[in-house]
Amino acid sequence: MDKTLTDKELKALVSLLEDEDFEVIKHVEDRIKSIGNDVIPFLEKEWESSFNPVVQRKIEELIHLLQFDHLKLRLRTWAEDGGQDLLEGAWIVATYQYPDLELGFLRKEIEQLYYEVWLDFKQGLHPYDQIKVVNNALFEKLRFKANTKNFHSPGNSMINVVLETKRGNPISLCILYILIAQKLELPIYGVNLPNLFICTYKTKSQQFYINAFNNGLIFSRPDIENYVQQLHLNQMDLFFEPCTNADIIKRILRNLIISFEKLGDHQKSDEVKQLLKSIDQDYDPGNRI
């Protein structure tokens, strides 16, 4: 915490949040925000000890703003550093709704899933058969499924919720699939297909596709060509080739924007748009593939 302010001085600042002068409140909020995330524990204690609902609401708003600014910074830093760790990217997004979520907890959860799949896995199998083993472990033994009843729920885009409920949307199930498959040293990547995020198994000599939203259904390039044709779209390389981890996180954010809009929560949809803009300067609100 900023050593130039004592707890007594911070208390005095917080007490000014009930002032009726807008300029005073604005100055107080800016001063508190300038301290950064280190002030959050202090604000939480002040919220608990306050009996003024106006002050409590303003403290809640300040905490959210501080956490949101920190989230934008973490996300931008992750992307600028190359977005190498897909789980970290998914974790950062999830902290929008669950700020206390720890990356270490998610790593342990993924490690346990990997172990459960690894018990059934054999390296010497044909790639199709390897995928069938992964499919059986994930979708039969571990019972992960498509969340078709609440497809647009924001929780479908939160990795911790998907791990807890074992229900997800196409991209969140693909993320789990990719994380586990790559720990098994399988060349599995994400593919930005319109309206349906999928996985691809790709080596120099072989490529096929996997629909994690349909229990790991295996299909071919002609199947995608037919699908794209039915959507009356032009064939594009990005519909067939692996995308980056940053592309995956951007798509999660686009899904979240739609989810919050469908719920009528325009404040959250606008905030997620800010998150997306922080890592995609070319973001177009009308592009939702």
Note the pLDDT of residue 5.
66
pLDDT one-digit tens code per residue, 126-175: 999 999 999 999 999 999 999 998 888 999 999 999 999 999 999 999 99
Q: Which residue has the higher pLDDT, 277 or 15?
A: 277
Place of tokens 């469908």: 262
**% of the chain with per-residue pLDDT over 90:** 70
Closest alpha carbon to 179 in 58, 94, 89: 89
pTM: 0.86
Residue 25: band (very low, low, confident or very high) from pLDDT cuts 50, 70, 90? confident
How many alpha carbons fall within 13 Å on the CB side of residue 182?
A: 17
Percent of the chain scoring above 70 in pLDDT: 92
Torsions phi, psi for 214 (to 5 deg): -125, 50
Burial degree of 172 (CB within 10 A; 0-12, 13-18, 19+): buried
Q: What is the mean pLDDT of residues 79-93?
A: 96
Cβ 79 vs Cβ 279: under 8 Å: yes
Other CB atoms within 10 A of residue 49 CB: 10
In DSSP terms, which residues pair with 3 in a beta bridge? none
DSSP element (H, E) containing 200: strand 198-202
